[in-house]
Amino acid sequence: MSEINTPGRRLTKAHKRSFATVAALGAAALAATLVPGGAGNSGQAEAAAAPAAWTQVTGAVQAQTVQANLAAQQAVAAKAAQQAAAAKAKADAAAKAEAEAKAKKAREAKAAASRAAARTPVFANNLDGWIKEALFIMKKEGIPGTYAGIHKNVMRESSGNPLAINNWDINAKNGVPSKGLLQVIYPTFKAYHVPGTKFDQYDPVANIVAACNYAADRYGTIDNVNSAY
């Protein structure tokens, strides 16, 4: 059966039954008005009752239409509420997952930092410890050199005194005296300083690493240096 449509709306079965009832009662009312005059008072009574019946039917149809509209609105509102609840649940789940991922990443970073700290050895605050710490840094930076090569040059240049300074050679006369364990002048120290070490010519580790970095660039390695450089 084809359905009856109104602009922008499809009639429900309840609407169809209401219109059918209206049509039937309207036909009955029309028939009552056409009863011959000989029918007497009975026909006149039926004809007088027809408008009242028509009014009742119209009111019933309107009430059904209002109820149908209210039911439709309630259904739409319920569906919208369900969709909103589903969207909120999805958003909450996504936020929770993101928070858990961030927390996991933070825990992993902390654990990695702890492992790295645990792997970093503790060096003695003396010539032996300074050379070993310098070698530890040099290995990570790819700077060549051995303990023996560094120790040999340190003893020749400063006798192991990290505060040693040369105030009499040509560098001193030019205003840039050699300083520290490996007697490095400031321009050389500045050019070959390795990030992560102190920017201080007198710092024993920074001095060794910068001097070894310079020696690697100029001589291949500090092991090849056997005199003033």
> What would the pLDDT profile of 87-135 be if each residue is shown by its tens digit?
999 999 999 999 999 999 999 988 887 776 667 799 999 999 999 999 9
Predicted pLDDT at 222: 97
Write the burial class of residue 211 (CB in 10 Å: 0-12 exposed, 13-18 middle, 19+ buried): buried
136-187 pLDDT, tens digit each: 999 999 999 999 999 999 999 999 999 999 999 999 999 999 999 999 999 9
Predicted pLDDT at 4: 41
| Annotated domain spans of the chain | 5-92, 127-224
* Average pLDDT of the chain, as a whole number: 83
Predicted pLDDT at 72: 87
Task: State the number of CA atoms in the 13 A half-sphere of 2 facing the CB.
Answer: 2
pTM (two decimals): 0.51
Q: For residue 37, give every residue at least 6 positions away whose Cβ sits within 8 Å of its Cβ, in sequence order, or none.
A: 43
